């Protein structure tokens, strides 16, 4: 029996308020049957759930389409209007011609036209001009419901941040809205269903504004990068049962004042004085005569766009593991260990006298004397203050910020705190968890844990480098190196779809992509440099590979073209000579330890630049072909080949040695397939020699590290790859794990026994870049990989390469088609492998075995089992094609395989 589940529209379940005009619909087939697949589908769409069963009321009937497409089927019905909600379901015919029908799902359009907005931007007039910090404005508006209500929607956005309330209740769960974009170009709005919150008669709507990215401190560039005060734009759309519509929109009839939030800044922290609370301000009947009228602010040119992806939400709560007092009679300090380097904040629970202030400080780690280590935060104060009102138990948490921390210090706490005093809330963009990796080595499992937590902490509306110091920028290089790993751990398709637009917004007119996006003038050089700027191509390409998403390639195509043209214009016969054109050399192999300054590594920047030029232009060849732009693909193929030749001529010797001889130079040459075939093995041998000379240690930075193990395993040096993975002294992935890390460190030597802390000006303990090895763990140790010719895991490559003494590994990936699973165990020469291939997909699998006759499935010789086709024997594996389903393979390995 086949059933249909996971109906999504633009990757989301029942999205409220999107502005994709032809949204793409996806579903998953569920079946235990081997070979289960879809042969045809039919999509039905109607204005209500009930009308889905009434032919005459359908808005769209796709008809029965003979196709196995079950992801990203574009809506093909009549155009939909602003606020229109539609319901849909799908019928599927399986390989036996059996028909099944899904339950229904819906999506609702947002506001599609600028003139759908009656609202005006408002703020507090008393806030203009340069300031070092500003109290949060509180806004309110009362209105009366006199007719029977059918639906109520809130459309809201801000420059700065907002939180909304209705009749005393917080609206929605989204945090740090409207998120971070280049507010001069795109401002995202969010949509909320308020129907249940409204009541007949008087209602009160309230909003609190924060500084956020729009007004508060960003990185090292100061405050007020986009506006000098927070601004709010919102309208409530009420639909009554008589068919009429009423809009309550922000304008100068709204009232504004300030209250208890004296300051709330992402980098500095929040100061809250509970004595100044405005009791009842968000309820009807509150006396706001002493409030000011809101100031109407001139409209912005930026496009108002819907949030088509995740918002930031509260995800987990952590209780402290330990509490310790720092002895001090006058000012006792209490240090809480949350047990995990996390991103979010703590909720404080306190009783005490009115006017007392509790100060909360945050840090990732401790000094040797047990005090908070905060020097690596640079100018970020990361300090919250709560002043008590003195009325019994007071529970408080900050509003418009996040901190990156494992340790929390309370100063001024009345009495002795307990485990109940604080609770840590972990926040990040809401991306469904899709991956799992586990193996027999606990240190590698902790590494996986650290990679996932690095992702949680740094995927906060934009992919940031780190969450704690005065930086937290959308570094393009970091995002690019980590995206493939990220796409195993969580569904990051919409998250990166949004950020790819941020990157285009940040692109310079001549095609350069900067090093950060959004770019709040933090990056003025223009070109972000090789491996950073290339995110503009690599990010859409990776989302295409992992999710089969062609729309993103289409949307960003023209921008990618401009970038490649920029590279071509600033190269000489394929060689990147950007320094000559722009004066900027790029970051090199950032933080590699084989250079002279400990920052930029020892690999030539022109080598890195030329390698990435060849690579990115080759990706654009593929992209042009996918989009049917054959002529373009010829041009990019020429550019790519030219760069490849330039690379060989300039950097490669006839014996396969590469100039400079760094690990990263070999890694790039091999991973990007720049070398003539006959030199590949020689180059790989050089790489291995280099690693051995360093006693199996890495000397790679951000650029080489993501690919090094993939190159080694591809080139037949699996032992060396595992030796690197299992290395516990630095530089290595497991060194920080052995030091108790719970996230990935920015630097291999963030802290060492002999030197202590690295340079505090750049020493984050939560930086995901080096976690990029995770993709290799899933794909090579775990055995789940994709086939670029059938992206989105439509066809799966399962080729686990056990090694490093591991006795088992399990990898899972919830793909667009459903759950892919690979779980192997190796003991006494026997290899047991359970795999799961979702309906409507197939896989090529590599069973470690001398040949097919050594392989059984569920105890039967494979040739007797239906659904399995033997392809070949290759390098110690029997290779088969298998159809969807669950399988249990065993093979007897003799000791030499
Ligand atoms: C950031 C990085 C970034 C780098 C570029 C650092 O300050 O934290 O992760 O990629 O600068 O050089």
Q: What is the pLDDT of residues 526-558, one digit of tens each?
A: 899 999 999 999 999 999 999 999 999 999 999
Supply the pLDDT for residue 521.
85
Tell me if 531 sits within 8 A of 586, measured CB to CB.
Answer: yes
Residue 318 to residues 167, 350, 354, 372, 453, Cα–Cα distance (Å): 30, 18, 28, 19, 13
Supply the pLDDT for residue 897.
39
Query: Does the beta carbon of 465 sit less than 6 angstroms from any atom of ligand 1?
Result: yes
Closest ligand 1 atom number to CA of residue 477: 10
Query: Does the beta carbon of 745 sit less than 6 angstroms from any atom of ligand 1?
Result: no
d(Cα 847, Cα 798) in Å, to the nearest integer? 9
d(Cα 728, Cα 734) in Å, to the nearest integer? 5
Beta strands 365-366; 372-373: pairing state: antiparallel
Query: Does the beta carbon of 10 sit less than 6 angstroms from any atom of ligand 1?
Result: no
Helix (H) or strand (E) holding 844: strand 830-848
Residue 235 to residues 149, 241, 303, Cα–Cα distance (Å): 16, 19, 17
List pLDDT tens digits, range 386-442. 999 999 999 999 999 999 999 999 999 999 999 999 999 999 999 999 999 999 999
Task: Say how many Å lie between the CA of residue 587 and the centre of ligand 1.
Answer: 9
Tell me if 703 sits within 8 A of 668, measured CB to CB.
Answer: yes
- The closest residue, in CA terms, to atom 11 on ligand 1 is 475
pLDDT of 308 over the 50 cut: yes
Tell me if 339 sits within 8 A of 406, measured CB to CB.
Answer: yes
* pLDDT-based confidence at residue 894 (cuts at 50, 70, 90): low
Closest ligand 1 atom number to CA of residue 465: 9
d(Cα 477, Cα 587) in Å, to the nearest integer? 9
* pLDDT-based confidence at residue 776 (cuts at 50, 70, 90): very high
| 3-24 mean pLDDT | 98
Q: What is the mean pLDDT of the chain?
A: 96
To test the pocket of ligand 1, the residue of 458, 465, 476, 769 to mutate (highest count of ligand atoms within 8 Å of its CB) is 465
Supply the pLDDT for residue 466.
97
| 501-515 mean pLDDT | 97
CA neighbor of 335 nearest in space, from 306, 386, 374, 304 = 374
Query: Does the beta carbon of 590 sit less than 6 angstroms from any atom of ligand 1?
Result: yes
pLDDT of 208 over the 50 cut: yes
List pLDDT tens digits, range 145-197. 999 999 999 999 999 999 999 999 999 999 999 999 999 999 999 999 999 99
Closest ligand 1 atom number to CA of residue 590: 12
Q: At what angle do helices 605-626 and 630-651 cross, to 10 degrees?
A: 160
Closest ligand 1 atom number to CA of residue 532: 10
- The closest residue, in CA terms, to atom 1 on ligand 1 is 465
| 39-61 mean pLDDT | 97
pLDDT of 129 over the 80 cut: no
Q: Which residues are catalytically annotated?
A: 471, 746
CA neighbor of 153 nearest in space, from 29, 16, 263 = 16
- The closest residue, in CA terms, to atom 12 on ligand 1 is 587
d(Cα 91, Cα 287) in Å, to the nearest integer? 56
Query: Does the beta carbon of 477 sit less than 6 angstroms from any atom of ligand 1?
Result: yes
Closest ligand 1 atom number to CA of residue 767: 9
List pLDDT tens digits, range 725-745. 999 999 999 999 999 999 999
Supply the pLDDT for residue 134.
82
pTM above 0.85, yes or no: yes
Could you give the angle at the alpha carbon of 622 between the alpha carbons of 619 and 627, nearest 5°? 125
To test the pocket of ligand 1, the residue of 458, 478, 515, 747 to mutate (highest count of ligand atoms within 8 Å of its CB) is 478
In angstroms, how far apart are the furthest CA atoms of the chain? 87
| 347-358 mean pLDDT | 98
Query: Does the beta carbon of 589 sit less than 6 angstroms from any atom of ligand 1?
Result: no
CA neighbor of 273 nearest in space, from 252, 294, 254, 259 = 259
| 585-592 mean pLDDT | 94
Strand runs labelled E in 762-867:
785-786, 795-798, 808-815, 818-827, 830-848, 855-857, 860-861
List pLDDT tens digits, range 85-104. 999 999 999 999 999 999 99
d(Cα 855, Cα 358) in Å, to the nearest integer? 66
Beta strands 149-159; 121-123: pairing state: unpaired
Q: Please, what is the end-to-end C-alpha distance for the chain in angstroms?
A: 40
Query: Does the beta carbon of 214 sit less than 6 angstroms from any atom of ligand 1?
Result: no
Helix (H) or strand (E) holding 735: helix 733-738
| 226-247 mean pLDDT | 97
Helices (H), 627-676: 630-651, 663-671
Residue 64: CB atoms within 10 A of its CB come to 12
Could you give the angle at the alpha carbon of 536 between the alpha carbons of 531 and 538, nearest 5°? 65
pLDDT of 578 over the 80 cut: no
* pLDDT-based confidence at residue 128 (cuts at 50, 70, 90): low
């Amino acid at each position: 029996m086949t059933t249909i589940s996971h109906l999504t529209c633009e990757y989301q379940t029942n999205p409220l308020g999107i502005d994709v005009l032809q949204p793409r619909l996806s579903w998953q087939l569920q079946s235990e049957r081997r070979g289960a697949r879809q042969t045809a589908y039919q999509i039905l769409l109607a204005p209500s759930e009930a009308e889905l069963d009434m032919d005459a009321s359908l808005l769209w009937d796709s008809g029965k389409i003979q196709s196995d497409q079950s992801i990203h089927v574009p809506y093909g019905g009549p155009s939909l209007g602003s606020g229109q909600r539609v319901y849909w379901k799908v019928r599927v015919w399986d390989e036996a011609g059996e028909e099944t029908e899904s339950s229904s799902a819906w999506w609702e359009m947002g506001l599609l036209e600028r003139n759908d907005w009656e609202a005006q931007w408002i703020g507090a007039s008393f806030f203009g001009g340069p300031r070092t910090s500003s109290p949060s404005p509180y806004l309110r508006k009362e209105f009366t419901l006199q007719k029977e209500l059918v639906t109520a929607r809130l459309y809201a956005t801000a420059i700065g941040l907002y939180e909304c309330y209705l009749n005393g209740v917080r609206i929605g769960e989204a945090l740090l809205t409207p998120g971070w974009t280049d507010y001069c170009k795109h401002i995202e709005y969010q949509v909320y269903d308020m129907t249940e919150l409204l009541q007949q008669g008087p209602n009160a709507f309230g909003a609190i504004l924060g500084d956020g990215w729009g007004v508060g401190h960003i990185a090292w560039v100061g405050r007020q990068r986009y506006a000098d005060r927070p601004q709010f734009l919102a309208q409530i759309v009420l639909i009554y049962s008589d068919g009429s519509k009423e809009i309550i929109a922000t304008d100068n009839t709204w009232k504004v004042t300030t209250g208890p939030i004296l300051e709330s800044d992402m980098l500095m922290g929040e100061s809250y004085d509970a004595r100044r609370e405005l009791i009842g301000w968000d309820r009807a009947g509150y006396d706001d005569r002493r409030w000011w009228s809101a100031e109407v602010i001139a409209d912005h040119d930026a496009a108002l766009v819907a949030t088509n992806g995740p918002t930031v939400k509260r995800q987990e709560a952590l209780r402290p593991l330990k509490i310790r007092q720092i002895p001090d009679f006058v000012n006792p300090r209490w240090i809480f260990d949350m047990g995990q380097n996390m991103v979010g904040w703590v909720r404080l629970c306190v009783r005490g006298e009115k006017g007392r202030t509790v100060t909360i400080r945050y840090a990732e780690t401790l000094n040797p004397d047990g005090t908070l280590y905060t020097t690596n935060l640079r100018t970020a104060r990361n300090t919250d203050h709560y002043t008590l009102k003195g009325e019994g138990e007071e529970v408080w948490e900050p509003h418009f910020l996040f901190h990156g921390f494992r340790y929390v210090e309370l100063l001024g706490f009345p009495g002795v705190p307990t485990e109940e005093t604080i609770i840590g809330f972990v926040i990040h963009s809401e991306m469904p968890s899709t991956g799992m990796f586990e193996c027999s080595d606990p240190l590698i499992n902790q590494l996986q844990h650290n990679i996932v937590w690095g992702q949680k902490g740094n995927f906060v509306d934009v992919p940031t480098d780190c969450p704690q110091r005065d930086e937290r920028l959308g570094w393009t290089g970091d995002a690019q190196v980590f995206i493939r790993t990220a796409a195993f751990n969580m569904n990051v398709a919409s998250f990166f779809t949004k950020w790819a637009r941020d990157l285009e917004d940040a692109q310079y007119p001549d095609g350069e992509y900067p090093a950060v996006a959004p770019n709040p003038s933090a990056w003025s050089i223009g070109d972000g440099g090789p491996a950073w700027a290339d995110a503009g191509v690599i990010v859409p390409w990776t989302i295409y590979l992992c999710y089969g998403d062609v729309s993103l390639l289409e949307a960003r195509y023209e921008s990618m073209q401009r970038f490649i043209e920029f590279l071509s214009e600033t190269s000489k016969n394929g060689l990147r000579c950007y320094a000559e054109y722009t004066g900027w050399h790029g970051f090199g192999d950032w933080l590699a330890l084989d250079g002279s300054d400990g920052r930029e590594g020892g690999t030539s920047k022109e080598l890195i630049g030329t390698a990435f030029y060849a690579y990115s232009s080759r990706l654009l060849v593929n992209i042009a072909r996918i989009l049917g732009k054959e002529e373009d693909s010829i041009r990019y193929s020429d550019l790519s080949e030219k760069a490849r030749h330039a690379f060989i001529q300039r950097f490669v010797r006839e014996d396969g040695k590469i100039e400079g001889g760094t690990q990263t130079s070999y890694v790039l040459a091999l991973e990007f397939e720049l070398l003539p075939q006959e030199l590949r093995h020689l180059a790989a041998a050089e790489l291995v020699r280099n690693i051995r000379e360093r006693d199996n240690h890495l000397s790679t930075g951000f650029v080489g590290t993501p690919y090094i193990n993939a190159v080694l395993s591809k080139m037949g040096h699996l032992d060396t790859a595992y030796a690197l993975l299992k290395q516990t002294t630095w530089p290595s992935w497991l060194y920080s794990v052995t030091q108790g890390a719970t996230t990935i460190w920015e630097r291999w030597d963030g802290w060492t026994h002999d030197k202590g802390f690295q340079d505090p000006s750049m020493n984050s303990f939560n930086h995901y870049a080096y976690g990029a090895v995770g993709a290799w763990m899933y794909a090579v140790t775990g055995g789940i990989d994709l086939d670029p010719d059938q992206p989105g895991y439509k066809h799966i490559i399962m080729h686990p390469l056990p090694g490093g003494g591991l006795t088992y590994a399990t990898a899972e990936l919830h793909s667009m088609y459903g759950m892919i699973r690979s779980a192997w165990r190796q003991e006494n020469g026997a290899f047991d492998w359970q795999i799961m291939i979702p309906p409507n997909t197939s896989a090529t699998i590599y069973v470690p075995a001398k040949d097919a006759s050594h392989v059984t499935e569920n105890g039967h010789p494979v040739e007797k089992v239906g659904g399995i086709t033997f392809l070949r024997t290759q390098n110690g594996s029997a290779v088969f094609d298998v159809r969807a389903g669950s399988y249990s393979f065993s093979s007897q390995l003799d000791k030499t395989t």
